[in-house]
Amino acid sequence: MSRFRRYDGGDPLAPPVDLAEALDAIGQDVMAGYSPERAMREFLRRGGTDQAGLDELARRVAERRREILQRNDLDGTMREVKELLDQAVLAERGQLARDITMDDGDRAFREMQLANLPGSTAAAVSELSDYDWQSGEAREAYEQIKDLLGRELLDQRFAGMKQALEGATDEDRQAVQEMLSDLNDLLEKHAAGGVTDEEFRDFMDKHGDFFPENPRDMDELLDSLAQRAAAAQRMLNSMTPEQRQELMELSQQAFGSPQLMEQLARMDANLQALRPGEDWSGSESFEGEQGMGLGDGTGALQDLAQLDALADQLAQSHHGARMDDVDLDALSRQLGPDAAVAAKTLQELERALRDSGYLKRGSDGELRLSPKAMRQLGKALLRDVADRMSGRSGARETRTTGLAGEPTGSSRRWEFGDTEPWDVPRTITNAVLRDPQALGGRAGGEGRAGVSRLRIQVDDIEVVETEARTQAAVALLVDTSFSMAMDGRWVPMKRTALALHQLVRSRFRGDELQLIAFGRHAQVMEIEQLTALDARWDKGTNLHHGLLLANRFFRKHPNAQPVLLVVTDGEPTAHLEPDGDVWFSYPPHPLTIAHSVRELDAAARLGAQTTFFRLGEDPGLARFIDSMARRVDGRMVSPELDDLGAAVVGSYLDSRGPASSYRDHFGDLYGGGRGFWV
């Protein structure tokens, strides 16, 4: 059964979120020592190449908040009242001057009364409440003041009332008073023990026009009213003492009766008792020049509260925070639909990372990169290696077959002595192309049941192309001493190990790879362990122990070609004693050097092809590594950090012999890459 829901923004034809960039960024942070959870949070915070992150959205929220405060002021209603008051007084004075029938004493008294009005707008409005206006224009302007105050006070609690009640009749005002009275009765009954659904529906049937939000139950009604009333209180708190005093005095003139203020005060008290969790005591500092009325000011305070809530949601700072916590409707209202689409994409990205198997939760409850994520990350790193090696040309592979022969996916012409299986489709196609009429039965005659005979000649035959494979046992020794972390070589080392691991597992499945980390002591590690390994600050470069483990690994695979790859930035400063204790000395002690050389010689006797990758520019280290490499007829490579992965992978491929071609082993990373390699 199909289910439909409201469209929530974005490109409806857009493909699912691409996790490649996210996984690469998360993997880099994990290798730098972050937990996967923190790494994911950091990516969501930064965003992607074409994707706004949480920090960008939070910046826009803060900018929007600052704009509201710097553009607006809260004295808009007071300014409008003062303009109407000045208009009324000016019209009245004009009428007094023109009215020649008026008694001079009465005129003088009235002019004196107008001239001596208090400086306070509220006090002046109050003093003129009993004034007998002679000018119809003045009387109308003064009545507008009372009407404006009533509409503004209602607009504070019920958005849109200022416009809805413009030009309201006495019946309209009476309907408002009745609604407020019924609402307060409803609130008080709810506080006393609850309101039934029927009572709520009766109230909405009678007064629903005052609530365009169309609340579905009592709780929704309470929430919307309390949020607006709390914002109105915060607006009052944000005014200067003088502004508050004037407003309270003016409020008594609303609709020409204090009854409106009494009902509103009663409603505020009820709402505060029912929703004490709302912010009833906050305040803001408005610094702009654009005056806002009471309703607009309350709306601005609501916007500020919503922006504060969005800032908290986007911060994702509390335990268990999720992108699903972000209110997309509020974000769209405050920043526009583009921001909501960006946040929704981040939500989908987080959900995909958690639900697609790239992150898994361990027995301790912490998130970890899954094997699936490791493969994806390894593929990305291998692609980077391929980019760096794309200028190198590898020799064509030999095409002899054997027990280790693997099909390449291509075929070639048969040559005398070939024992490879025929590529039947290609062979038949060649025969047909050579004699297109053969299938029509006019060449070679007809066989049984009228089936045409197709004659195959030697030149038509193609065989399945294979590549000779010799199994290799590869030991990658990576230095994990404190200098690697101190000099920024920690992450490149891990990237190199992961790229090599991916290549062996995906393209040379018959080879065996062992990762050995050597610092103060050495240990064999799985790729997941090495990738998540935090920087170690123990002093010591125990190459001796690492070579011991490598030789043990080589002996377990006597029929494989040993390949020894050593990545280090320092001379050996530690070795294992016969009792298993670590012996450390700096500068390097001759005994430590002797132990390391002895194990290197043992690797050479096992037939290991050895390559040292020297990191750093220390001349002493260069001389030592060079002498070690020459001793076993190996090589020393001194790559830049960015090229370390390419150097190690290239050395491994070279160890596979002239049958290795970079194009054949990396072409699939580019969908075949047939035009990519030189």
pLDDT 10s digits, 408-465: 677 888 887 677 788 888 889 988 888 877 666 554 445 455 556 788 888 889 988 7
- Per-residue pLDDT at 274: 93
- Per-residue pLDDT at 259: 82
- Per-residue pLDDT at 469: 53
- Per-residue pLDDT at 396: 29
Domains and CATH numbers, the chain: 20-71+306-361 (no CATH), 75-285 (no CATH), 406-467 (no CATH), 472-670 (3.40.50.410)
pLDDT tier for residue 336 given thresholds of 50, 70 and 90: very high
pLDDT tier for residue 638 given thresholds of 50, 70 and 90: confident
- Per-residue pLDDT at 657: 60
Here the tokens at position 85 are 């008051």
The span from the CA of 326 to the CA of 168, in Å, is 41
Q: Smallest Cα–Cα separation from 364: which of 33, 44, 35? A: 35
Please determine, for residue 678, whether its predicted confidence score (pLDDT) is greater than 50: no
Please determine, for residue 181, whether its predicted confidence score (pLDDT) is greater than 90: yes
Higher pLDDT, residue 433 or 374: 433
Cβ contacts of 345 within 8 Å, gap of 6 or more: 10, 17, 51
Please determine, for residue 569, whether its predicted confidence score (pLDDT) is greater than 50: yes
* Cβ atoms of residues 209 and 158 within 8 Å: no
Any idea how long the chain is?
678
Query: For residue 567, what is the enclosing H or E element?
Result: strand 561-568
Please determine, for residue 554, whether its predicted confidence score (pLDDT) is greater than 80: yes
DSSP alpha helix (H) spans, 3-53: 20-31, 36-46
Mean pLDDT, the chain, integer: 82
List C-alpha distances in Å: 435 to 13, 94, 370, 535. Answer: 49, 114, 56, 69
Query: In the chain, pLDDT over 70 holds for what percent of residues?
Result: 83
**Long-range residue pairs from 622-625, CB within 8 A, at least 24 positions apart, any chain:** 624/571, 625/568
Segment 119-138 shows an average pLDDT of 90
| DSSP codes joined into one string, 305-359 | HHHHHHHHHHHT-STT--GGGS-HHHHHHHH-HHHHHHHHHHHHHHHHHHHSSSE
Please determine, for residue 674, whether its predicted confidence score (pLDDT) is greater than 50: no
Peptide bond between residue 587 and the one before it cis (omega within 30 degrees of 0): yes
Segment 526-551 shows an average pLDDT of 86
- The mean-pLDDT minimum among 352-361, 384-393, 505-514 falls in 384-393
Residue with tokens 């066989």: 447
Q: Smallest Cα–Cα separation from 594: which of 621, 620, 576, 612? A: 576
Segment 532-543 shows an average pLDDT of 80
Higher pLDDT, residue 119 or 26: 119
- The mean-pLDDT minimum among 326-340, 395-409, 481-495 falls in 395-409
Please determine, for residue 666, whether its predicted confidence score (pLDDT) is greater than 70: no
Please determine, for residue 280, whether its predicted confidence score (pLDDT) is greater than 70: yes
| Backbone conformation region of residue 367, classed left if phi is above 0, alpha if psi is from -120 to 50, else beta | beta
Q: Is 288 exposed, middle or buried (0-12, 13-18, 19+ CB in 10 A)?
A: middle
Angle among Cα 4, 10, 15 to the nearest 5 degrees reads: 85
pLDDT 10s digits, 67-104: 999 999 888 888 999 999 999 999 999 999 898 888 88
- The mean-pLDDT minimum among 264-273, 526-535, 538-547 falls in 526-535
pLDDT 10s digits, 471-484: 889 999 999 988 88
- The mean-pLDDT minimum among 107-121, 336-350, 358-372 falls in 358-372
| Per-residue DSSP letter, 474 | E
Segment 347-364 shows an average pLDDT of 74
- Per-residue pLDDT at 665: 52
Cβ contacts of 564 within 8 Å, gap of 6 or more: 475, 477, 550, 603, 608, 609, 610, 611, 634
